[in-house]
Amino acid sequence: MKKYTSSNADAALAEALGAPTPSLPTPRESKPLIPAPIASNNQIATDADYARTNAIEIIQKGSEAVDMALNLATESQHPRAFEVLGQLLKIQSDNVDKLLKIHQDKQKLSGNVSSGQMTGNVYIDKAVFSGTTTQLLEMMRSTQKNQTTESDELDD
C-alpha cells in the first residue's frame, strides 16, 4: 500500500477518484511598486501626487477585495462573511475620504485656495463685540463716516 502525506493528498484523492490531478493556483501577476518621489523644487506637489497615486491604488485593490468578499458572502450566506464585507465597505469609504483630504491639503499648502473657499459660504447669525461701549460707538461713527464719504463720491 502506498503511503500518502498531506503534501500529496490532493493527488492521491484525484487518483483514487479517477479525476485529473488538481493544479495549484497560479500566483497573480504583481505590479511593480510605485517609485518613490524624486526630490524637486515643488516638494509639496510631488509628495501629494505620490500620496494620491498610492491612495488610488489602495482604493482599486480595495474594490477588488470588496467584489471578492461580496461573492463569498452571497455564496456562503454566512453572517461573518457579511460582517467582513461591511467592514471592507467602511474601509473603502474611509479611503475615498482620505483621497479627498489629500487633495484639500495639497491646495491648502500650495495656497491655491483660500480657507473660505474650501469651507464654502459662511453665514453669520450673531456677532459678538468684545470691548467697551465707547469703542463700539467710535467704530460705528467711523463706519458711518466712511459710508457717507463713499456715497458722496458716487454722486459726483
Range of the domain at 49: 38-112
Task: Find where cell 454566512 sits.
Answer: 78
- What pLDDT does residue 156 have? 60
pTM metric for this prediction: 0.49
Instruction: Name the residue with higher pLDDT: 127 or 132.
Output: 132
Q: With a cut of 70, say whether residue 121 has pLDDT above it.
A: no
Q: What is the spatial distance between Cα 11 and Cα 13, in angstroms, rounded to a whole number?
A: 5
Q: With a cut of 70, say whether residue 104 has pLDDT above it.
A: yes
Contact residues for 100 (Cβ-Cβ < 8 A; gap 6+): none
Q: Which CATH number characterizes residue 76's domain?
A: 1.10.287
Q: Are 96 and 59 in contact (CB under 8 A)?
A: yes
Contact residues for 113 (Cβ-Cβ < 8 A; gap 6+): 107
- What pLDDT does residue 119 have? 47
Region of 93 on the Ramachandran plot (φ > 0 left; ψ -120 to 50 alpha; else beta): alpha
What is the Cα gyration radius of the chain? 32
- Domain-located, residue 78: yes
- Domain-located, residue 123: no
- Domain-located, residue 95: yes
- Domain-located, residue 125: no
State the total domains in the chain.
1
